[in-house]
Structure 1
Amino acid sequence: MYDYFFGKLVSKTPTHVILEVGGIGYHIHISLTTFAQIKEIETCKLYISFQVREDSHTLYGFSTEGERQLFNHLISVSGIGPNTGRMMLSSSSPEELQSAIINGQVALIQKIKGIGPKTAQRVILELQDKLKKQGSDSLLAIPDTKQTVPEEASSALIMLGFSKNQVEKVLSGIVQADSTLTVEGMIKAALKKL
């Protein structure tokens, strides 16, 4: 829903900030990593992860796109909520945490408060392949959002409710038949076959 907020930092603590954007003060939870990067500045841009629960709507802010992306991966793991994800990112740098997950270092992840051996193993099991595919430098640079024509068509079809495997199979056939199609042309051709 929200990508980022840019505004004036009215209040800063190691756990949260009040960011004034357009005359509205937003209470945003942050990690210690983000706090270390923004504690000396007056205005900043925070990448937002908006978490909706039955009893609360909470904003989590990160100084980099990569840290937010890792946070979203962490909270996708069963048993890890937003507060635990923030604790994990506060206990070690995002780069160290990502490296520990990719290299399967259960002991290092287990040292984080609130993370037991089973949860550490689950984090590695569920995220290791995803993070390997992204590459070790995904936290350092903002990922390139430019997609190829088939990738863009695939994303659109998956958002329409078709399964990823089904979409990829149909699109690979369409690309082999005519690789010069536009995104719209590819989607229309795929919809006829799905």
Structure 2
Amino acid sequence: MIAFVRGSFAKKSPAQVIVDVNGVGYELQISLNTYSSISTKEEGQLLTYLHITENGQTLFGFYTQEEKDLFLQLISVSGVGATTARMMLSGLRPDEVIKAIVQGNTRQLESVKGIGKKTAERLIVELKDKMGKISFENTASPTQSFDAPGKDAINALVGLGIAKPVAEQAVKKVSDSAKEALSLEDIIKQALKNL
């Protein structure tokens, strides 16, 4: 079993990263949550889970132990495969997944592609009690305070299909590097370049 890989990030996309470990490239499937944590890094360590099926082997990567723990809890539920669990961690932050399960919010869980009403209910029934045992303080993204154009830019990016945490990070990067006040259009254009 491969517990983690450490090396340089040879290629990154919101769904996948290739980690060069001493000349060997490991292809890892990742969530948007992990991507937003490594998008500005050139190298690092990712925890892994090797998923073996009759059709092949897939290596999943996680930036934090908390995200990996949640992934393992999700795939323990009948009807939730590794791809669906990754989709959940891309559509919602880990703390949002936990909150939705603990509060019995089926509607929020159903907002994730691949999760129907029955699967959402099964997740709540099977995981509600277990969720309190996992600590997720580190996974909640710090709340940023954005001015009106920044908030509008984030909403526009989310409207384009970009996950909110990724949109917030891109807009923050634009705001931090701006030497003067930018128009909403300029913020969106520059944020898209940072994705």
TM-score > 0.5 by shorter chain: yes
1:103 and 2:103 correspond:
yes
- 1:4–1:47: 8 Å Cα contact kept in structure 2? yes
Q: Counterpart of 2:53?
A: 53
Moved over 6 A (4+): none
Q: Counterpart of 1:80?
A: 80
1:124 and 2:121 correspond:
no
Aligned-partner Cα distance in 2 for 1:96–1:57: 29
Residue 98 of structure 1 aligns with an amino acid whose one-letter code is: I
CA RMSD of aligned residues (A): 1.3
Alignment map for 1:15-164 (pairs within 5 Å) = 15-132=15-132, 134-135=133-134, 138-140=135-137
Higher relative contact order (CA 8 A, sep 6+): 2
Aligned-partner Cα distance in 2 for 1:94–1:141: 10
Structure 2's unaligned 5+ residue stretches are 140-195
CA offset at residue 2 of structure 1?
1.8
Cα displacement string for residues 84-116 of structure 1 (whole angstroms, at most 9, x for unaligned residues):
000000001001111111111111111111111
Cα displacement string for residues 107-156 of structure 1 (whole angstroms, at most 9, x for unaligned residues):
11111111111000000111111112x15xx12359xxxxxxxxxxxxxx
- 1:65–1:139: 8 Å Cα contact kept in structure 2? no
Aligned-partner Cα distance in 2 for 1:140–1:115: 25
Cα displacement string for residues 29-86 of structure 1 (whole angstroms, at most 9, x for unaligned residues):
0000110110101001111011011111110001100001100110111111111000
Aligned-partner Cα distance in 1 for 2:77–2:110: 15
Q: Counterpart of 1:14?
A: 14
Aligned-partner Cα distance in 1 for 2:20–2:103: 40
Residue 113 of structure 2 aligns with an amino acid whose one-letter code is: K
Q: Which has the larger radius of gyration?
A: 1
- 1:4–1:45: 8 Å Cα contact kept in structure 2? yes
Aligned-partner Cα distance in 2 for 1:21–1:140: 30
Identity, in percent, stands at 42
Aligned-partner Cα distance in 1 for 2:47–2:137: 15
Aligned-partner Cα distance in 1 for 2:138–2:38: 18
Count of residue pairs the alignment pairs up = 139
- 1:14–1:35: 8 Å Cα contact kept in structure 2? yes
SS of residue in 2 equivalent to 1:115: coil
Aligned-partner Cα distance in 2 for 1:108–1:28: 27
Cα displacement string for residues 164-183 of structure 1 (whole angstroms, at most 9, x for unaligned residues):
xxxxxxxxxxxxxxxxxxxx
Aligned-partner Cα distance in 2 for 1:65–1:97: 15
Aligned-partner Cα distance in 1 for 2:12–2:107: 32
